[in-house]
């Protein structure tokens, strides 16, 4: 009994009050950072928290504990091995402290290891190795950003996005799918943080009328439905429009191409939709209605500045020309049992980077 009292007093003194949101521990969680490859499966009932912890090395532990306020603690057991654990909620997952036992079967806090987990499906698919992003203090041009942001670690991408000239950030936000992809990557960094301040996050989310947790959940639904390629295809198209808009503004493209770019960009801007609505429409959670028209949307560049003609096979399948009204019609659904062209293995490897071919 004395040991139990000592452990409880030590836990309260060591961990203190949790700043987490008390929303329940039940769910499936995937490790990030140093916890990469680990998984947690938790079930909370009344004040009990039970589940399984997989170490990523083929070891499976049973987990048994109780909630205490906003945290839970108890034991992690496997044949021949025994640990204590302390669990705290986070907005997108949980923080898991694995605590070895001393020979006297007391918690060895000095030897404890802290692991971060997010809800299953909320992580951004990553390249196997991110490319080095330009360091702080180096100016990054909008064209360089459009061409390379998918290769950078999301934290680096978020940092560089904030450093872009405001007119170029506004240009990205005028294209709904491109803005949705940037927001996706920003949200995976769990903002606000040291690279994406509260003011920057508020500005980005104000127009979207959502929060990162809800948006990442909608992306998970799209991924699970095998429809992520459809979103990425449209994002690719809009990123090319952004790229060519800037080139036109700088006088680097022929007027005929710029006229095509302008003709394609205008209708897309008028049919702008919130990022979460795009995802919900893909999986059929929300019927298609009249797209939201953004009133008084700032146009940072000249209206005659826009993009080159793109390959119709990449942009609008089964059509002779680019269909700029595709945002207002239903998207073909993947048939039951049919896999998207991005397999689960690929999803864990990288985000497809192919862009429409420029004629």
Please write the tens of the pLDDT for every residue from 84-94.
999 998 877 88
pLDDT band at 34 (very low <50, low <70, confident <90, very high): confident
CB 113 within 8 A of CB 98: yes
CB 246 within 8 A of CB 239: no
Q: Is the pLDDT of residue 344 over 70?
A: no
What number is the average pLDDT over the span 153-172?
A: 95
What pLDDT is attached to residue 318? 34
Q: Is the pLDDT of residue 169 over 50?
A: yes
Distance CA 71, CA 305 (A): 55
Both tokens of 329, joined, read 């019609």
What pLDDT is attached to residue 212? 93
Distance CA 325, CA 267 (A): 7
Query: 93-107, 113-127, 136-150: which has the minimum mean pLDDT?
Result: 113-127
Distance CA 187, CA 93 (A): 13
> How confident is the prediction for the chain on average, in pLDDT?
76
Please write the tens of the pLDDT for every residue from 183-232.
999 999 999 999 999 999 999 999 999 999 999 999 999 988 888 888 99
pLDDT band at 338 (very low <50, low <70, confident <90, very high): very low
Q: Which domains does the chain have, with CATH numbers?
A: 19-119 (2.40.128), 142-347 (no CATH)
Q: Is the pLDDT of residue 66 over 90?
A: yes
What pLDDT is attached to residue 46? 85
Query: 54-58, 178-182, 272-276: which has the minimum mean pLDDT?
Result: 54-58
Q: Is the pLDDT of residue 239 over 50?
A: yes
What pLDDT is attached to residue 345? 34
What number is the average pLDDT over the span 35-56?
A: 89
More confident residue, 135 or 1: 135
What pLDDT is attached to residue 172? 97
More confident residue, 130 or 244: 244
Residues 6+ apart with CB under 8 A from 137: none
User: How far, in Å, are 247, 305, 306 from residue 252 at the CA level?
Assistant: 5, 11, 11
What pLDDT is attached to residue 21? 33
More confident residue, 221 or 358: 221
What number is the average pLDDT over the span 273-292?
A: 74
The phi and psi torsions of 130 (rounded to 5 degrees) equal -70, 145
The phi and psi torsions of 87 (rounded to 5 degrees) equal -125, 130
Q: Is the pLDDT of residue 247 over 50?
A: yes
> Which residue do the tokens 């008390």 mark?
22
Q: Is the pLDDT of residue 20 over 90?
A: no
């Amino acid at each position: 009994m004395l040991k139990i009292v000592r452990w409880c007093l030590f836990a309260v003194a060591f961990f203190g009050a949790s700043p987490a949101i008390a929303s329940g521990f039940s769910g499936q969680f995937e490790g990030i950072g140093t916890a990469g490859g680990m998984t947690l499966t938790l079930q909370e009932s009344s004040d009990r928290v039970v589940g399984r912890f997989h170490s990523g090395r083929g070891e499976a532990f049973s987990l048994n504990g109780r909630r205490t306020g906003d945290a839970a603690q108890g034991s992690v057991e496997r044949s021949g091995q025994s640990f204590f654990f302390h669990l705290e909620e986070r907005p997108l997952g949980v923080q898991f402290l694995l605590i070895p036992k001393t020979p006297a079967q007391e918690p060895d806090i000095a030897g404890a290891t802290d692991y971060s987990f997010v809800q299953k499906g909320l992580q951004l698919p990553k390249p196997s190795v991110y490319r080095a992003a330009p360091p702080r203090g180096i100016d990054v041009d909008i064209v360089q950003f459009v061409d390379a942001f998918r290769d950078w670690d999301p934290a680096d991408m978020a940092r560089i996005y904030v450093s872009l000239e405001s007119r170029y950030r506004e240009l990205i936000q005028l294209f709904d799918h491109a803005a949705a992809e940037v927001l996706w990557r920003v949200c995976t960094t769990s903002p606000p943080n040291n690279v994406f301040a509260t003011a920057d996050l508020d500005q980005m989310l104000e127009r979207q009328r959502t929060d990162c947790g809800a948006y990442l959940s909608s992306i998970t639904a799209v991924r699970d439905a095998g429809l992520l390629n459809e979103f990425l295809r449209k994002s690719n198209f809009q990123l090319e429009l952004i790229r060519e808009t800037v080139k036109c503004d700088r006088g680097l493209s022929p007027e005929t191409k710029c006229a095509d770019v302008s003709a394609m960009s205008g209708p897309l801007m008028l049919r702008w939709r919130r990022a979460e609505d795009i995802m919900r429409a893909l999986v059929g959670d929300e019927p298609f209605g009249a797209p939201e028209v953004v009133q008084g949307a700032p146009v940072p560049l000249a209206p005659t500045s826009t993009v080159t003609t793109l390959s119709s096979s990449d942009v609008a399948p089964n059509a002779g020309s680019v269909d700029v009204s595709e945002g207002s019609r239903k998207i073909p659904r993947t048939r039951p049992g049919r896999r998207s062209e991005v397999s689960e293995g690929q999803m864990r490897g990288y985000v497809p980077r192919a862009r429409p071919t420029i004629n």
